[in-house]
Every structure is written in C-alpha cells, then in structure tokens.
Amino acid sequence: MNVGSGLRKELASLNYSQSLGLVKRKRTITADYLPRSAKAVGWSWLFAFLICFNQALYQSALAQAVQTPRPKLVVFLIADEFPYDYLARFQDKLPPGGLRTLIETGASFSHCRFQQACTQTACGQSVIATGAHPWATGIVGDNWYDRKRGKVISASFGGEGTSSGNPHQMVGTTIGDELKLASGGRSKVFSVGIKDSAAIIFNGKLGNNAFWWDARVGSFVGTSAASAPPSGGQGDGMPIDAASPRGNQLVAEFAKQLISQENLGQDGDPDLISINFSATEAVTNRHGPHSQESEDLVLKLDQTINGFLSFLDQKIGLANCLVVFTADHGVAPIPELLKEKGAEAGRIDPKYFRTQLNSALAARLGNYDWIEEFEPPNLYLNLNTIDRQQRRQPDIEALTAKLAHSLPGTGEVYSAFQFFMNQLPNGPLSEAIRKSYFWGRSGELFIAPRPGYIFTAEGEGTVSGSPFTYDAQVPLILKGSAIKAGHYTESASPADIAPTVAAALGIAAPSLAEGRVLSEAFGQSSGGGKSHYTF
C-alpha cells in the first residue's frame, strides 16, 4: 500500500472550506451571520488563488534548485523562545564553530518574522513545518477551548478519541509528510524535543516517530512503537531540569544516537530530522531574556550546536546536509524591567481579567455567566447563556469587545462577527490577527495585549504570544551545498522555510503552504517581497 494513500484520502475527505477554517460552528445563529455561503465561497476562492499563485512561484524556483545534488539529510535546529535579538546581542561572544559557523557560512536572514498574531510554540512549529498560518492549519495556540467537550485541550494531545500525542488536529501536510509521499515512504522523518508539542506537531501525520522527554519515566517516549528510542534514550539517573542547559544537551545527544541507529542520510533517499531545543523557553520564562541566565544558556546552546555540527560532519558530511536554524517564537521582556526604564508595561492575569469582564457584563445584562473560557488570546462566550437570555450574539460580542478594550493593558480586540463580515481594519496588525483566526477553534473574541503587556499573573516571569517584534522576529539561517552564503536583508517569514526546503529537495511544497521560496538563498533574485511587519 502506498504510504501516502491514507493521508491523501484523509485530505480528500475534508470539506475544502472546513480544511481552511471557513465553516462556522453549527450553533451559530444563521440570521446573525448572513450571508454565510457567499462569504465562505469568497474566502475559498481567495485561498485557492493564493495557493495556486505560490505553487507557480515554487515550481520556477524548484526548476533551478534541483540542479544541485539533493541533501542526504535535512536538519532543523529549532530553538524554543529564541528572539533574533539574541544573535544580535551575543554574536561577539560566540567562539568559532556552532552558531558562528552557521552565520558566516550560511544564508542568514535578519528580517525574518512570523506573520500571525499568536506566537506560541505550537503555532510556530506548525508554521515552520507546513508553511501555512493558523487560519489554514487550525493550530490557534498551544491550547484552545473545545466547546463540544467543554474543556481546554492541547494542540498535540487534544485529538478526540485518542490518548497519545498526535498531530491530527493540524490541517494539511508538513514538509516531512511531503518528503514521505515523494519517496514512496523510503525517506525517514523524525522529530525530537523536550516538549511534546514541539516534537509532535513537526513530525506530521506520516513521520516515523516523534520523541519527547517524559519526566515521569525519566526517558524519551515516542508517538509510535514502530521505532523504539535509541538505547541512550534513558536518563542518567539524575533529575532533568528543563530550565537549564542540560535539557538542550540531552536532546542533542539523543538526536545523535537516533541518527546513528536509523542510519539517517546514508542512502539515496533524503531523510529529515527536527531537533527542538526547549530549554531556552524554560530559562527565559523564568528569568527573562535580559538575564545572565539566558545569556549563559545561549552560549551553552552554541556549544551544543557546535558539537552536533561536528557530529554531522563526521557521520554524513556537512556538505551532504541542509541545516536550518530558526526559532518557533521570541519572548517579551520582563514587564517590571521595562517599567524601571520608563516604558509602559504590565501583566494581565487571565483569571482576573475573565472575572473583571464577566462582572462588567453581568452589571449590564444580568447576573449570569457570560464568559465560558479565556485561553489567551481567545475568549469564548457562554453561548447557552446568550441563547437563554434571547440576546443576539453579535451584540454581545460587540459589548464584550468594548468592555475588554477598556481594561488595563488590552490592545486590539476583534469579534467573530467582524472576522465573518470581513470588517477588520486594514493594517499589518489586523492582518496578523486575521491569520491567527480559525473558525470553530478560535474564540468569539481575539484579544491582543498592548505592547509591553503580557498575559500572565504577578511573579510568573515572562511569556510569548503577542504579534510584536520581540515575540515575532526570529533568526533564520540556511546552510547547505545549494545555499549561497551571505547576510540577507530581504523580508522573510518562517512560513517560507518549508517551501524553500521543498525546493532544495526537489519535492512538492506542503499542501497549504503560503510562504515563498527564498530564492535569494539559492543565488537567484528574490523577486521582491512584502516589508516585514513592525508594530
């Protein structure tokens, strides 16, 4: 049986507008959201045009990229919560090798930025793997509220009827899926990380296995029993602190053993491995991006990457590899540090925010539970209360948005009705929010903080998740025999990575890919590009 037949059937069985997030939940009051069919059809044609246009550009770059030998192994080195600012600040402290080797001998893009508003791990990983944004893939956050089941679910463990991690909530194919399809299943695809969400999302539907660290058993575990962890997948008997360089070192050592055990990059069919360094997020969340702890971790990650590149050179030959270094998101500065320097900043406690907002609604509409859940940036209204009180949902959305916008730290607030009627104002921030909204999973309100504010309680360090530069701008470096080394200032996005890697491999880009091929990295004209967003 063709390895891709199951996935092809699955994708073919999806209603087109459902797969792109265009169909509203059945509960929505039709009279409040007319004209539904016309609006859905219009968006479907727009998506179809954009995807076909991107595929035409892709084929042009593909014809030139395949003139060079294909890499034997594609290696994604993805640092969790690693803003571009880290490279700029610490580059002078980097010794020879490691990140400096990638910067000096690879194609480095200084203006690489996520184009969606929600910059969380699962969102970032899905964009890198698929070349598509949450409005297409449905990965609207690390977690979202499942109204049918009445609970918050995980992007990687929330699939209905499943108890193990899987990527089946993500619509469309990944770069690994396409490699599997193109090779008839002969290529091997793996992903490794401390965090389950990073490994599972990137592995796609056809990947051989995704491994992540399970602290309960003190070893790596996988999504499939078909490929057991390497013998070195056990811990050393000592507790693993994810918020330390040890976490990244553990992942790199495991990846080396996996490459050796599976003989990756050793035959005529290219293989792919994604390695996710999650300790950067754990350290930065705890201490902030401007702490000595974060600097120390970046410099030790550089050492880890140096050792890994040396391993690749000895095992496969770096000339036979395509290495991609990037991050799944950046991070906000500690708000208190910004305030000390005179900037406006602060924290928005999600629980307190929800309580305040519900009280404000109750004072105007009656003492009921008007809010069902708040999983930033998505706020879910209590639709049963709205129905019982015979209120119009668009009216309640508008009132809630107005009240939310008046609370301290709240930035842009948009309602489902505004998304449906295409009433968002023009501008890069609105466009980024639009690319984060997926019908049926996103809330009735999308709430973005103001710059400098973060959705977290007092005393909890910092987080990512906003559309602003500190969260959205990340490093992007490509290194391989087909790559022209240099520093590139053209605008780029992590959504461009999958189409670019596909071109280097001579295979189709992922099914919903929106990004462009970074043709300048192949020594070709970029053909222009939109300016990167600045908020």
What is the helix, strand, coil percentage profile of the chain, to 5?
40, 15, 45
Which residue is listed with tokens 């020879």?
96
pLDDT at 34 > cutoff 80: no
The predicted model gives 131-141 an average pLDDT of 98
Domains belonging to the chain, first-starting first, are 51-332+474-519 (3.40.720.10), 346-454 (3.30.1360.150)
Q: How far is CA 117 from the centre of its chain?
A: 11
Question: What share of the chain has pLDDT > 90, as a percent?
Answer: 74
Query: Is 181 within 8 Å of 4 (Cβ atoms)?
Result: yes
* pLDDT range class, residue 229, cuts 50, 70, 90: low
Radius of gyration of the chain (CA): 23
Partner residues linked to 213 by β-bridges: 220
If you count DSSP H runs as helices and E runs as strands, how many of each does the chain have, helices first? 20, 17
Single-letter residue type at 192: V
Q: Is 318 helix (H, G, I), strand (E, B) or coil?
A: helix
Listed in sequence order, the DSSP H helices in 453-514 are 469-472, 497-505
Judge if the upstream peptide bond of residue 475 is cis by omega within 30 degrees of 0: no
Tell me the two tokens of residue 165.
Answer: 């991690």
Q: How far is CA 474 from the centre of its chain?
A: 12
Tens of pLDDT, residue by residue over 305-353, are: 999 999 999 999 999 999 999 999 999 999 999 999 999 999 999 999 9
The predicted model gives 453-463 an average pLDDT of 94
pLDDT at 162 > cutoff 50: no
Q: Which DSSP string do the residues of 355-422 spell out, in sequence order?
A: HHHHHHHHHHH-SS--EEEEETTEEEE-HHHHHHTT--HHHHHHHHHHHHHTSTTEEEEEEHHHHHTT
Q: Is 493 helix (H, G, I), strand (E, B) or coil?
A: coil
Q: Is 317 helix (H, G, I), strand (E, B) or coil?
A: coil
Tell me the two tokens of residue 415.
Answer: 């309602």
Give which of 534, 442, 532 is closest to 496, Cα–Cα: 532
d(CA 372, CA 387) in angstroms, rounded, equals 13
Tens of pLDDT, residue by residue over 355-406, are: 999 999 999 999 999 999 999 999 999 999 999 999 999 999 999 999 999 9
Tell me the two tokens of residue 491.
Answer: 């605008």
Burial degree of 56 (CB within 10 A; 0-12, 13-18, 19+): exposed
Give which of 223, 227, 205 is closest to 9, Cα–Cα: 205
pTM for the structure as a whole: 0.86
- Position 524 scores a pLDDT of 76
- Position 242 scores a pLDDT of 65
- Which region among 218-232, 289-303, 307-321, 495-509 has the lowest average model confidence (pLDDT)? 218-232
Query: Is 149 within 8 Å of 160 (Cβ atoms)?
Result: yes
- Position 219 scores a pLDDT of 85
- Which residues 6+ apart lie within 8 Å of 42 measured at CB? none
d(CA 356, CA 445) in angstroms, rounded, equals 16
d(CA 103, CA 101) in angstroms, rounded, equals 6
* pLDDT range class, residue 410, cuts 50, 70, 90: very high
Name the average pLDDT for the chain.
86
Give which of 418, 427, 405 is closest to 535, Cα–Cα: 427
* pLDDT range class, residue 167, cuts 50, 70, 90: confident
pLDDT at 90 > cutoff 70: yes
Higher pLDDT, 237 or 20: 237
